[in-house]
């Protein structure tokens, strides 16, 4: 059985390991102080989930919002990267303390983990994160994770905790990711439109689904918005995890939303190997290989990407870097690890395999991206 309805997210058999992401607007009030009563109730629900036999990982935002007020920074601390980093340094202490105290009142140990994008993009560091989270969970602790905002520079930032939660779920081999939001799911149009309808279940994030999302955070406190939630749903789906968005605002938000199926559930896609799922969820691509219709079709049938079908090469990358494969209509078809660097790819693009040895002056590889190193998206 797989997770097919919202209630399954509370079921320890179907969801033995759950990631719960809590956004800034839920954790921090308009006055810049933590919303302690609400958080106390939520931690009660998470402790109950653990008592039912579910392992829980929390991804918590709120460091920037909490720190901004203490430092007296304008725009909620998001006026500049330096402001956000300073605010996070102050707010993260409070945030971690809050979670630790509230879990301790249920006899549960919280563990702070701060991650940057690179920790999850580099395979070796990824495996390290996986091992650490596994150990913490095995010891009965609840990891409380945030981005390491204070050191992450613009290029190496997630920037939003929605995608961080999906990547963390993948690293922890979780079964589902639950995003607590200030809206009860994805709507088919601007939710302020009286005709807008909530979509209860999404099988796959298609361009039509993406068109329903409006960018930006509605609260102005976080940085997410629906676009980053859909990106998170794609990462989760590819990794074989379900992802749900529910309204986090009520007291004890899990109990009600899950029982009444009030939210949007994105179903998992058929599971790939863990390594391929990691590859598919990688966010930073070093280059792009534009391919013709023949190559696009062959990829769809599970073939490797051959140089003959490559029309154009973009970007600076070395052998082993992650690149995206772009189809004739400009859509990303796949992601994979290139067997060659950018200059070699350019030299080989459009050329038949039998000419490769002459072009390169050394023994060629069997493909530009081998199918074992390639994930269709
Ligand atoms: N890491 C940020 C914080 O703790 C939140 C990112 C987000 O808004 O998703 O404040």
Q: Is the CB of 77 inside a 6 Å radius of any atom of ligand 1?
A: no
Q: Which atom of ligand 1 is the closest one to the Cα of 77?
A: 10
Does residue 234 sit in the same domain as residue 116?
yes
Q: Is the CB of 67 inside a 6 Å radius of any atom of ligand 1?
A: no
Q: Is the CB of 146 inside a 6 Å radius of any atom of ligand 1?
A: yes
pLDDT tens sequence across 56-107: 999 999 999 999 999 999 998 989 999 999 999 999 999 999 999 999 999 9
The span from the CA of 277 to the CA of 282, in Å, is: 9
The span from the CA of 251 to the CA of 254, in Å, is: 9
CATH code (residue 363) = 2.30.130.10
Q: Count the neighbouring beta carbons within 10 Å of the beta carbon of residue 270.
A: 8
Q: What is the pLDDT of residue 214?
A: 66
Does residue 323 sit in the same domain as residue 222?
no
Q: How many whole angstroms from 22 Cα to the centroid of ligand 1? A: 9
Q: Is the CB of 119 inside a 6 Å radius of any atom of ligand 1?
A: no
Does residue 238 sit in the same domain as residue 291?
no
Q: Which atom of ligand 1 is the closest one to the Cα of 224?
A: 9
Residue nearest to atom 5 of ligand 1 (CA): 61
Q: What is the pLDDT of residue 159?
A: 80
Q: What is the mean pLDDT of residues 355-372?
A: 90
Q: What is the mean pLDDT of residues 246-274?
A: 90
Q: How many whole angstroms from 153 Cα to the centroid of ligand 1? A: 14
Compute the mean pLDDT over every residue in the chain, rounded to the nearest whole number: 91
Does residue 322 sit in the same domain as residue 199?
no
Does residue 252 sit in the same domain as residue 315?
no
Domain region containing 338: 285-376
CATH code (residue 43) = 3.40.1160.10
Does residue 238 sit in the same domain as residue 261?
yes
Q: Is the CB of 54 inside a 6 Å radius of any atom of ligand 1?
A: no
Does residue 62 sit in the same domain as residue 174?
yes
Is 205 a domain residue? Answer: yes
Q: What is the pLDDT of residue 354?
A: 92
Is 291 a domain residue? Answer: yes
Does residue 270 sit in the same domain as residue 354?
no
Does residue 304 sit in the same domain as residue 260?
no
pLDDT at 224 over 70: no
H/E segment holding residue 289: strand 287-291
Q: Is the CB of 147 inside a 6 Å radius of any atom of ligand 1?
A: yes
Does residue 52 sit in the same domain as residue 131?
yes
Is 1 a domain residue? Answer: no
Q: Which residues pair with 28 in a beta bridge?
A: 34
Q: How many domains does the chain have?
A: 2
The span from the CA of 172 to the CA of 234, in Å, is: 17
H/E segment holding residue 259: helix 253-260
Does residue 138 sit in the same domain as residue 217?
yes
pLDDT at 12 over 50: yes
Last residue of a domain, one of 219, 253, 278: 278
> Helix axis angle, 36-51 relative to 81-104, nearest 10°?
60
């Amino acid at each position: 059985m797989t997770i097919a309805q919202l209630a399954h997210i509370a079921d320890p058999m179907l969801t033995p390991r759950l990631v719960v992401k809590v956004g800034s607007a839920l954790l921090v009030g308009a006055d810049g102080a933590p919303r302690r009563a609400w958080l106390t109730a939520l931690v009660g629900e998470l402790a109950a989930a653990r008592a039912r036999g579910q392992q829980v990982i929390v991804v918590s935002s709120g460091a920037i919002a909490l720190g901004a007020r203490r430092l007296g920074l304008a725009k909620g601390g998001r006026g500049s990267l330096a402001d956000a980093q300073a605010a996070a340094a102050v707010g993260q202490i409070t945030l971690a303390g809050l979670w630790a105290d509230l879990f301790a009142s249920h006899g549960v140990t919280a563990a702070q983990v701060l991650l940057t994008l690179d920790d999850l993009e580099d395979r070796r560091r990824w495996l390290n994160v996986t091992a650490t989270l596994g150990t913490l969970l095995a010891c009965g602790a609840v990891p409380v994770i945030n981005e390491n905002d204070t050191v992450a520079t613009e290029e190496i930032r997630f920037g939003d905790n929605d995608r961080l939660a999906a990547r963390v779920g993948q690293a922890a081999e979780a079964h589902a990711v639950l995003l607590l939001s200030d809206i009860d799911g994805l709507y088919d149009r601007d939710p302020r439109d009286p005709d807008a309808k909530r979509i209860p279940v999404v099988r796959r994030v298609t361009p039509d689904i993406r068109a329903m999302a409006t960018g930006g955070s509605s609260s102005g406190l976080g940085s997410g918005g629906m676009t980053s939630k859909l990106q998170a749903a794609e990462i989760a789906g590819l990794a074989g995890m379900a992802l749900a968005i529910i309204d986090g605002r009520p007291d004890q938000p899990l109990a009600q939303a899950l029982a009444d199926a009030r939210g949007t559930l994105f179903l998992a896609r058929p599971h790939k190997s863990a390594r391929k799922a990691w590859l598919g969820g990688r966010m930073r691509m070093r280059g792009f290989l534009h391919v013709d219709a023949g190559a696009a079709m062959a990829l769809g049938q599970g073939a490797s990407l051959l140089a003959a079908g490559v029309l154009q090469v973009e970007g600076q990358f070395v052998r082993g870097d992650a690149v995206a494969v772009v189809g004739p209509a400009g859509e990303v078809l796949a992601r994979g690890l290139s067997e060659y660097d950018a200059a070699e790819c350019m030299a080989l693009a459009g050329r038949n395999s039998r000419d490769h040895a002459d072009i390169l002056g050394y023994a060629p590889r069997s493909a530009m991206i081998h199918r074992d190193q390639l994930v269709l998206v």
